Amino acid sequence: MKLAIPNANGFVKQHFGKSKEFIIFDISDREIKGHKLLSTAPFQHNYEELAKLLVREGVDTLILGSAGLRAIQILQQHGLKVITGASGSVREAAIAYARGAHLRHTPFNSVNPKHVLSR
């Protein structure tokens, strides 16, 4: 499986829409087998194209800090599993997920109310 996490100097980027890069982790047998940095700067707030790019890269799961309702819906429409509410180290989040840590897969557990109310 491939897991993508928005990166900001090694930490989970808290504003998904402003993410300029993601780290994509290859996970197998509950271990990280590899990773790569993917630049997504041209796709800030362009959720449709970002979702397409992540799918082309083979990503099936995203771990995010917060995201607006519209972004989550678009990502899910492209078949991506979205987990929100993450913070701290990108690598530690990936390791925890790989080892089976219980992360909530509730698409609205960390929706940014500003995004919901402004639409």
Q: What is the pLDDT of residue 19?
A: 94
Per-residue pLDDT band at 100 (split at 50, 70, 90): confident
Q: Is the pLDDT of residue 119 over 80?
A: no
How many alpha carbons lie under 13 Å from residue 83 in its C-beta half-sphere? 19
Average pLDDT of the chain is 87
Residue with tokens 């197998």: 28
Q: Which residue has the higher pLDDT, 113 or 119?
A: 113
Predicted model pTM: 0.85
Per-residue pLDDT band at 108 (split at 50, 70, 90): very low
User: Average pLDDT, stretch 87-98?
Assistant: 93
Instruction: Read off the pLDDT of residues 2-48 as tens digits, 9 standing for 90 and up.
Output: 999 999 999 999 999 899 999 999 999 999 999 999 999 999 889 99
Q: Is the pLDDT of residue 102 over 90?
A: no
What structural domains does the chain harbor? 2-117 (3.30.420.130)
Strand partners, 37: 23
